[in-house]
Chains A and B, each alone.
Chain A
Amino acid sequence: MKQRWSRWGLTAGALAISAAAFAQTPQTPPTPEMISFACAGCHGTNGGSAGLLMPSLASQSKVSIVDAMKKFQSGERASSIMGRLAKGFTETDFEAMGEFFSKQKFHATNQKLDKALVKKGAALQEANCSRCHLDDGKDGKDDTPVMASQWLPYLQIQMDMYLSGERKMPEKMAEKVKPLSKAELEALLHFYASVK
């Protein structure tokens, strides 16, 4: 058997080309697309997530992506797999990710939510959060992440991490969050999840 197959290989060699023949013109270093496409297996095509615990990266600001990745890399932001992955990338890579995801269209999700909580949350957002989380959390400006349409379970886990101190709240956020009750925070998260 071996013999026959290797003969076939030789004959096929007529069509074959040596590895050297592939010698390429110089390759460009990884582009934003090259770096960022690889994230989509977990975060969805172009950063639009279908998984309940994975945030959508689409339309996040460049600053917030770079900031998040740097914090994952240093361990300042607690994580499971993200910190480990971030260690394989450079700051230039993070900027490429920011470049790519900030240009993607906002990803709207359809979630089953408690309407009363959404309504309550809307008022709370207006009164407490709207100065930084612009346009009902749809506009990610500077280092403020896009909150709108993120999956509720993702938002809940992040809020739990903020409250436990695992994730550090920016000072301005802490000032607003601390006076709010758990029920009020839950309503806020429902609101953000509902925004399309």
Chain B
Amino acid sequence: MTLDRRNFIKLLGGASGLAIAGQAAAQAKAGSAAVSAGSAAEIMPKGSARRVIVIGGGYGGTIAAKYLRMLDKSIEVVLIERNKEFVSCPFSNFYIAGLMPDMKALTIKYDKLTANHGIKVLHAEVTAIDAAAKMVVTSQGRLAYDRLIVSPGIDFMTDGIEGYDAKTPEIFPHAWKAGPQSALLRKQLQAMKDGGTVVIGVPLMPFRCPPGPYERACLISSYLKKHKPKSKLIMLDANPDVVSKKGLFTKAWNSYYKDIFQYVGGQVTKVDTKARIVVADNFDEYEVAVANVIPPQRAGNIAVVAGLTDDKKRWCPVDAISFESTILKDIHVLGDATLLPSDGGAMPKSGYSANSQAKVCAINIVALMNDKPTTELSAINACYSAVSETESVSVSHVFKLVNGKIKITATAVSPIDFSLGKIEKAYGESWLKNVLTEMST
């Protein structure tokens, strides 16, 4: 459990209007001051049209909002997102390693979703969800919904790392949410002296973007090899082995980055930002020039606050039909935050998975709201990772519904000899262009 009392209260901060039974009980138990009831005014009162609210304007939320409107214009869609822009995690490793001048190619805005699809975008912080009253409480007031989609991404569980506090990411960036964190890690890499040690700490699965840390290892190694060749990059991986595209990444490390990169088994258990030390459970201690500690992950805060997470308070169990929560009715969850019924391998927590899930969700929410039969899931994951400045590799999955569970019908990775590396680098760029265009137009 990662939310201490302070964080819990902070999460609820501003949730003054509605005291749902659960929250009131939790707060009373926590010994905090009771929230004052009824102070959050209702905003955007619901008219006669049916309304779906989408929380979170990332890979899942934007697509769900857009496809709902494409499929049924009679449904009003309100997208609530705290930020004015979204920065893509996929491809942010290129920026971190100095291979993109800025984050423009990773950034989208929301205005065209309004202009093209009539999606109402509200920039506000969601502080609570009242599932019984079907209300979302935001920093600007509360809003009613008929159905709610929560696409909250991830937040971190840092209790298992001694010395890790709210300030730690400002010194040891995780850069696992793109934006200022990516900029900080890039800046630190560029500022470090040649001969320093960089550590990447990989958390235990499941986490957002399984190939992400390994791609990062390749691109940072590539940067160091070119600009700071006396430096070392050490990857502390809490998993028993490389969890994604293993053959391909291992080959890249061995063929390109042998003098720079070292893969070490071990979980980061302690950080000391003052002494600049990272400690692993194998008792190794590293004095670091740059530490990129990626903490273990769970569903985004709002999902935990709303009671959408399982008994471990980690991921949100949903069905494989419309991604409706198995805990709270009329609330659907998408993307990294979900725990899906699967037969064999699970859908990776990737941007493309979220995109594909959002469409399944939209199709079946429209069916449910119109009393029509739902349709069986069919989904895809397609994911590119760079192994060097000029070469990328990919993994693909096709998912179908079999006996109520999601099953992989095909999965494969690029050839091990990197014979497609250059063309897949270019395909990856087109992937980014299309997926972000789809989210923003």
Q: Does chain B have a CB within 8 A of A129?
A: no
Q: Which residues of B contact A41 (CB under 8 A)?
A: 352, 355-356, 380, 382, 431, 434-435, 438
Neighbour of B437 across the interface among A6, A22, A25, A50, CB < 8 A: A50
Asked if A30 and B29 make an inter-chain contact with CB atoms under 8 angstroms apart, the answer reads no
Within 8 A of A (CB), among B333-378: 352, 355-356, 359-360, 363, 373-378
Give the complex CA separation of A87 and B378 in angstroms. 14
Give the complex CA separation of A12 and B394 in angstroms. 42
Q: Does chain B have a CB within 8 A of A182?
A: no
Give the complex CA separation of A155 and B418 in angstroms. 23
Q: Does chain A have a CB within 8 A of B396?
A: yes
Of A18, A53, A87, which is in contact with the most chain B CB atoms at under 10 Å from its CB? Answer: A53
Asked if B363 and A4 make an inter-chain contact with CB atoms under 8 angstroms apart, the answer reads no
Asked if B430 and A1 make an inter-chain contact with CB atoms under 8 angstroms apart, the answer reads no
Asked if B433 and A45 make an inter-chain contact with CB atoms under 8 angstroms apart, the answer reads no
Q: Which residues of B contact A18 (CB under 8 A)?
A: 326
Asked if A42 and B431 make an inter-chain contact with CB atoms under 8 angstroms apart, the answer reads yes
Stretch at the interface among A77-85, A111-119, A135-143, A184-192: A77-85
B384's nearest neighbour on chain A, judged by CB, is A81
Give the complex CA separation of A30 and B379 in angstroms. 10
Asked if B329 and A15 make an inter-chain contact with CB atoms under 8 angstroms apart, the answer reads yes
In the complex, per-residue mask of A12-44: 1 if CB is within 8 Å of any chain B CB, else 0 = 101111110010111111110111011111111
Chain B's interface: helix, strand, loop or mixed, by majority?
A: mixed
Q: Does chain A have a CB within 8 A of B22?
A: yes
Give the complex CA separation of A27 and B320 in angstroms. 11
Q: Does chain A have a CB within 8 A of B414?
A: yes
Q: Does chain B have a CB within 8 A of A68?
A: no
Asked if A27 and B1 make an inter-chain contact with CB atoms under 8 angstroms apart, the answer reads no
Q: Does chain B have a CB within 8 A of A172?
A: no
Q: How many residues of B contact A (CB 8 A)?
A: 71
Asked if B394 and A81 make an inter-chain contact with CB atoms under 8 angstroms apart, the answer reads yes
Q: Does chain B have a CB within 8 A of A51?
A: yes
Asked if A7 and B25 make an inter-chain contact with CB atoms under 8 angstroms apart, the answer reads yes
A30's nearest neighbour on chain B, judged by CB, is B378
In the complex, per-residue mask of B57-75: 1 if CB is within 8 Å of any chain A CB, else 0 = 0000000001100110000
Q: Which residues of B contact A35 (CB under 8 A)?
A: 378
Asked if B378 and A93 make an inter-chain contact with CB atoms under 8 angstroms apart, the answer reads yes
B binding-site residues for A, Cβ under 8 Å: 1, 3-5, 20-23, 25-26, 29-30, 66-67, 70-71, 131-132, 307, 311, 313, 319, 321, 324, 326-329, 352, 355-356, 359-360, 363, 373-380, 382, 394, 396-401, 408-412, 414, 420, 423-424, 426-427, 429-435, 437-438, 441
24 contacts between A and B (CB under 8 A): A4-B26, A12-B20, A12-B328, A17-B326, A17-B328, A22-B326, A25-B373, A27-B375, A30-B378, A40-B434, A42-B382, A45-B66, A45-B441, A51-B429, A51-B430, A51-B433, A52-B433, A53-B426, A53-B430, A54-B427, A80-B414, A80-B420, A88-B399, A88-B400
Please give me the 5 A-B residue pairs with the lowest Cβ-Cβ distance, nearest first: A88-B398, A51-B430, A88-B410, A12-B22, A37-B359
Known: A24-B321, A88-B399. 9 other contacts (CB 8 A): A12-B131, A25-B374, A37-B363, A42-B434, A44-B438, A45-B66, A85-B396, A88-B408, A157-B423
